[in-house]
Structure 1
Amino acid sequence: MDQRANHACPPQLPVVSGHGRFAALGPAFHTELHPTPIPAPHWVARSTGMARELGWPADWWQAPEALALFAGNRVAAGTRPLASVYAGHQFGHWAGQLGDGRAILLGEAVAPGGELLELQLKGSGLTPYSRMGDGRAVLRSSIREFLASEAMHALGIPTTRALCITGSDLPVQRETLETAAVVTRVAPSFIRFGHFEHFSHSDQHAELRQLADFVIDHFYPACREPAAGQPGNAYAALLAAVALRTASLMAGWQAVGFMHGVMNTDNMSILGLTIDYGPFQFMDGFDPGHICNHSDPTGRYAYNRQPPVAFWNLMALAQALMPLIGESDHALAALEPYKTAFPQALQARMAAKLGVAEPREQHHALAESLLGLMAREHTDYTLTWRRLTEHVAGAPADTFTELFVDRAAAGHWLLQYDELLAPVPQGQKLDLMQKSNPRFVLRNYMAEQAIAQAKLHDFSVLQDLLAVLERPFDEHPEHAAWAGLPPDWASSIHLSCSS
């Protein structure tokens, strides 16, 4: 019997199966429990793109049971919702046991291509892993995660996805009194580095092996037969594969000016996905040392520290896998490719932003030179690259140089650019740049505008913003203001771990 038959989703109602792959691991990995209902739930937002990838009809949300299911007020028949246990290093310090403190896995759905996708409610109430928390998410943070998930996906950066948000007038205390919301997240798996750390640090080596085998069998089967030059140990091969995915992810973040804000090991996906959007930020004025999280006074997770922190986190994962890998030399060898894979991936992405498909050292130097100019003046990151794209499309040089105080230096750089890339056909350059330099990113002030209206139960700005972010490389002339410089008040937005 095909296991996936148990995951079928009737077109009238998006039912998921709780008898999924992660649930089958057993009680050492999770606790079964139901979400805690919220009073009088209402729809806040839905991603038609995510629903389409699940194979659900456009009107799936109109099914009578849908709102209750995704608010956590109803449990579909036959499902066994659960919260998983994990641990982690937070801001470089061992935090011990953590877990899904406000997230509950509903189960799995089958995408049209056969891929199994987990659906998880975030903000669905207390779990055994809530510690001092209340198990809830607020409307503000739910909107930010929903928009960021779909925006990153549209930018081509691996990420968990968001299907919908449900809201309620249930009061939730944070720095101020806010209202509750539940965001439905979607991913092939929500397993983190911290899952491995939990079983390793608690000397549950049988469970550690079970988890590693689970991840290899379902997501990294090639690790059973490593390629030439790769570690022969399947668990070392797993570490190497995760390191490569993480290197690619970091290159994607850096290239679009994205800062995660809380790169703890429990916020690192074993699949190389962006996960757990909190005090994230897309760069406004370019500052390599920018700290987007006001809960991070030392700047551990500043923009320019993200790649080395990712490697630190991989070292923590390697330590957790040592009972399975055995030899420290094997673990170190598995991590070594990160040191070359990340810069290569980043250079390729930055070259694409210049319009170069086959980068050479001089292209890398040209990109670094521009970043240096931008850093000195805190020139807007997204707008600079988009204006360069417009210049290649035929706009006058002033379109680019007017972004800089030192226009002479910017003009000199532009002359170097035009000379170096003169041999590349304009159409080829422009096509690559228009796919690499978004016109729109989710700036903090844009999210704040959507949140402010949503608090008044007006979700029109949220819907408009989602539509723009789903196609970030398009012009969207009706929303041209979002493609310009942020307003002055944007610099006063403060984000913390509660964001």
Structure 2
Amino acid sequence: MHFNNLYYQTFPNHYHSQMPMALANPMLVCKNQELANFLGLSEQRIRDADFLQVFSGQAVIEGMQPLAQKYTGHQFGYYNPDLGDGRGLLLGEVIAEDGLNWDLHLKGAGPTPYSRGGDGRAVLRSSIREFLACEALHYLGIPSSRALALTVGENPVYRETQEQAAICTRVCRSHIRFGHFEYLFHSKQTDELKKLVDFCIAHYFTECLAEPKPELAFFRQIVIRTAQLIAKWQAYGFCHGVMNSDNMSILGITFDFGPYAFLDAYQENFICNHSDHSGRYAFNRQPSIGLWNLNCLAHAFSGILSIDELKAALQEYEPEFLVHYRDLMQQKLGLTDWQPQDQPLLGQLLDLMQQHQLDFTNTFRLLSETDEQAELMAWFGATEQNMAWINAYLRRVNQQDISADERFKCMQKVNPNYILRNYLAQNAIEAAEKGDFSQVNELFELLKNPFTTQKDKQHFADNAPQWAQQLEISCSS
């Protein structure tokens, strides 16, 4: 395992070096062996006992240089200058099989100077949720940080009640956020800001080096990647819950999981974060919040790019989002092209789903498995309005030069059978809190193949039970 700690070497004034705080009597809950192999942590190179020691904070591998990064950001619309890695440590950047640097990051590794009085710990329930969500999104094809390991210790952690401490090891190409640029801009570190921009272009956006103005190309890429990411969230019914600008990655990946949720019954203004009393981060507001955060980032770039350049780049966001979202929904509906009547057809479908509280994922999955009118009526309900939509949809798809079987095959590649429903995660958490980690590992394996019906696993695709509607997820971790 070889390290090349570029951030450590380049920005010594923007982090705090420190060792992790170890978990007491740690246990390995779940290990992502495929990802471990990619990072050079194959079973032949590092024994399970050593793996546990490293990723429970008890030891570091030679070459690791742990640090907590400093950044700021806008939280629920207000600028907060006191942010940073308050419970996370970047262990180092490992050179993986692809020859690129990948960050290894412990979440829950103890207090840092940026903890703002917190204990720096993460609890088992939130660590399980992050571990599973990273991988669930990855296998759905939605860009995300990855999860390497989940460990738990005997340390008590106090939130609403006493809970167990845990550490989730996060992996991604970079942990640089919108908030890194906001910090340097608002603290008037102009030279360091330009240095950070150049660093990102040189290491993560090398295609921009060939452009006439690399800094502008870099900013445009962040705009485009963010638009595409959020289009995927909307197409798959994923609600992030805390889209503060410090939780936004420059890479356009899903990042910093908290009170996220996949939609069960479709509700366009669904709020997954119990702490979001105003609904700022409701499901249907995610696209506009993405642009709001990009405007915060543009402000930080205002000393590097002109106002006209920034405005022009930001104006690319909405068209990119709409085109990408339309393409995804076209595939989910089984359409080989997009015609003028398809937009109202989609809009009517979403209206019916909301009106009848139909499951978002299972509705699209059903459309990818049958075109029998009776089966569709049984799902939607026997009303004239529903019948009118079903007939319009069937006329539309049957006009295409593709067989129903071929259409279904294509649709089943984009309409998952399994998603990480909140109630499934909650069941796994409750079992884990009693010392049974089998459900965590079962979900981890299940979600690697979300589009394929798996033998004896179909109950995981069931609609959420009634009690799941009462689940409340907050920012508490």
TM-score range, shorter chain: over 0.9
Note if 1:126 corresponds to 2:105.
Answer: no
Note if 1:154 corresponds to 2:134.
Answer: no
Shifted more, 161-170 versus 412-421: the winner is: 412-421
Which residue does 2:324 correspond to in 1? 345
Shifted more, 354-363 versus 42-51: the winner is: 354-363
Q: Is the 8 A contact 1:88 1:96 kept in 2?
A: yes
Match of 1:410 among 382, 386, 397: 386
Which residue does 1:6 correspond to in 2? none
Fraction of identical pairs, as percent: 42
Match of 2:397 among 412, 421, 441: 421
Note if 1:324 corresponds to 2:304.
Answer: yes
Structure 1: how far apart are the matches of 2:200 and 2:469?
42
* 1:116 to partner: Cα distance: 1.8
Which residue does 1:38 correspond to in 2? 23
* 1:330 to partner: Cα distance: 0.9
Report SS of the residue matched to 2:351.
helix
Which residue does 1:13 correspond to in 2? none
* 1:410 to partner: Cα distance: 2.6
The Cα RMSD (Å) is: 1.5
Note if 1:287 corresponds to 2:261.
Answer: no
* 1:59 to partner: Cα distance: 6.5
* 1:60 to partner: Cα distance: 6.3
* 1:61 to partner: Cα distance: 6.4
Structure 2: how far apart are the matches of 1:164 and 1:149?
11
Q: Is the 8 A contact 1:152 1:159 kept in 2?
A: yes
Equivalent AA in structure 2 for residue 378 of structure 1: Q
Describe how 1:363-442 pairs up with structure 2 within 5 A: 363-392=342-371, 396-422=372-398, 423-425=400-402, 426-442=404-420
Note if 1:301 corresponds to 2:271.
Answer: no
Note if 1:455 corresponds to 2:440.
Answer: no
Structure 2: how far apart are the matches of 1:97 and 1:398?
58
Structure 2: how far apart are the matches of 1:246 and 1:408?
40
Equivalent AA in structure 1 for residue 408 of structure 2: L
Structure 2: how far apart are the matches of 1:70 and 1:441?
27
Describe how 1:25-104 pairs up with structure 2 within 5 A: 25-58=10-43, 62-104=47-89
Which residue does 2:454 correspond to in 1? 476
Note if 1:315 corresponds to 2:295.
Answer: yes
Structure 1: how far apart are the matches of 2:54 and 2:427?
28
Report SS of the residue matched to 1:329.
helix
Match of 2:238 among 246, 253, 258: 258
Report SS of the residue matched to 2:321.
helix
* 1:183 to partner: Cα distance: 0.4
* 1:93 to partner: Cα distance: 0.5
* 1:289 to partner: Cα distance: 0.6
Equivalent AA in structure 1 for residue 166 of structure 2: A
Judged with a 3 Å threshold, the aligned counterparts in structure 2 of structure 1 residues 346 and 397 are, in CA distance, closer, same or farther, namely: same
Gaps (5+ residues) in structure 1?
1-8, 10-15, 227-231
Note if 1:334 corresponds to 2:313.
Answer: yes
Which residue does 1:3 correspond to in 2? none
Judged with a 3 Å threshold, the aligned counterparts in structure 2 of structure 1 residues 274 and 126 are, in CA distance, closer, same or farther, namely: same
- Deviation by residue 1:110-161 (Cα, 9 ceiling, x = unmatched): 2222122111000010111111211000000000000000000000000000
Shifted more, 55-64 versus 484-493: the winner is: 55-64
Which residue does 2:221 correspond to in 1? 241
Match of 1:267 among 236, 243, 247: 247
Which residue does 2:465 correspond to in 1? 487
Structure 2: how far apart are the matches of 1:400 and 1:164?
42
Report SS of the residue matched to 1:314.
helix
Aligned residues: 475
- Deviation by residue 1:67-125 (Cα, 9 ceiling, x = unmatched): 11000111222321111100000000111131111110111222222122111000010
Shifted more, 252-261 versus 232-241: the winner is: 232-241
TM-score, with structure 1 as normaliser:
0.92
Q: Is the 8 A contact 1:61 1:67 kept in 2?
A: no
Structure 1: how far apart are the matches of 2:43 and 2:392?
50
Q: Is the 8 A contact 2:33 2:42 kept in 1?
A: no
Note if 1:465 corresponds to 2:443.
Answer: yes
Q: Is the 8 A contact 1:259 1:302 kept in 2?
A: yes
Equivalent AA in structure 2 for residue 412 of structure 1: A
Q: Is the 8 A contact 1:87 1:195 kept in 2?
A: yes
* 1:340 to partner: Cα distance: 0.4
Judged with a 3 Å threshold, the aligned counterparts in structure 2 of structure 1 residues 415 and 47 are, in CA distance, closer, same or farther, namely: same
TM-score, with structure 2 as normaliser:
0.96
